[in-house]
Structures are given as structure tokens and as C-alpha cells.
Amino acid sequence: MHLGAHADASNHYNEQGEGIDKRDLSYYLGPVQVVRVTTKRGDRIKLEDLGDEQVNAQRILFCTGSYPDPDSWNSDFTSLSPDLVDFLASHGVILVGIDTPSIDPSEDKALLSHARVAHHKMAILEGVVLETVPQGIYDLIALPLKIENADASPVRAVLLPSGSLTLGI
């Protein structure tokens, strides 16, 4: 469930969390901002790594380029800092995503960034492929499967030009 592009459920990192089948799909559907960062491999992305980039959407996907071959494991991928998660939540972000296997470093047993996501009741996408996607605003469709009590679900993440997603629900 945690290979390739996937959505983590809160029960993956929080004992009181819910399974992916209970997750509101609105987290995974709507405007998203793709942000490219050049943080050193193995480091956590910090607020200062964003430079002049502003938060312009409720969903943010980070393109790090630090996990270039999903068929070959490298443990020195870039991840998110807990302070960055707090900052994003304070700006109304409801979903954070990254092009690596995890928003926390591979050796981090405490899952500090996952804990901050749980605190803010945000959603997580990991392993999204962004290598050819220019920085900017898009519409995201990355719906998880309704797998009862699962701690994650594979997704097929799709980015559309901003404003092209219209819902007649």
C-alpha cells in the first residue's frame, strides 16, 4: 500500500486515526500548487527553502528530485520539516504531498512530520511523480481506494490545467 504514489491514512501514524476508507475524498480533489525545491538530499525541507514562493492553494506537492528512480531504493531522499507542516497548516493547506516515499526521513522512527499532519488533520500524498511537471497551480485528482481499515491506498495522481476541473455533484 505504501509503494508508488499513495495516500497515507491517519491510522498509519496515529493509533486513534481512521482507515483510508473513512477519509473524506475532498482532500484529494481540487486546486494544488506544485513547488520545486532544491533542498540537499537527506535534509528536511524548511520554510526558508521556499524562498519567495507563496502558498497559493489548499494542497501542496513538493518536487524534490531526490528520489529519481522508484525501482531503486535510496534512503537519502528529501522530506518535510515539522515546522514547515505547521506553517502550511496555518495557511489553510489541507494536503501535503511529495515525490519521495515519505514526508519523514527513512530512519525517523518518531515520524515527526506525520505527527504534525495528524495534529492539523491534514492529508498526505507520497511517491507522486513530478519530475516533468513545471511549478505552478493545477487541479488535482488523486482519489484513494476505499479499502476497509487500510493504513494507505494506491492512487493514480492526475494534474489538470488549473480551472479545468468542474464538478457537477
pLDDT category of residue 97 using cuts at 50, 70 and 90 = very high
Of 41 and 71, the one with more pLDDT:
41
Helix or strand holding residue 112 (H, E): helix 112-120
**Mean pLDDT across the chain, nearest whole number?**
92
pLDDT over 90, % of the chain? 76
Dihedral pair phi/psi, residue 160, rounded to 5°: -115, 160
Least confident range of 29-33, 69-73, 120-124, 135-139: 69-73
CATH of the structural domain 6-161, one choice from 3.20.20.70, 3.30.70.250, 3.90.1010.10, 3.50.30.50: 3.50.30.50
pLDDT category of residue 71 using cuts at 50, 70 and 90 = confident
Catalytically annotated residues: 12
Let me know the angle formed at the C-alpha of 33 by 29 and 38, rounded to the nearest 5 degrees. 135
Per-residue pLDDT for 4 more than 80? no
Spell out the domain ranges in the chain: 6-161
Let me know the angle formed at the C-alpha of 99 by 98 and 104, rounded to the nearest 5 degrees. 55
Mean pLDDT of 117-138: 96
pLDDT over 70, % of the chain? 96
Per-residue pLDDT for 1 more than 70? no
DSSP 33-47: EEEE--PPTTSEE-G
Whole-prediction pTM: 0.93
pLDDT category of residue 49 using cuts at 50, 70 and 90 = very high
Per-residue pLDDT for 169 more than 80? no
111 Rama class: left (phi>0) / alpha (psi -120 to 50) / beta: left
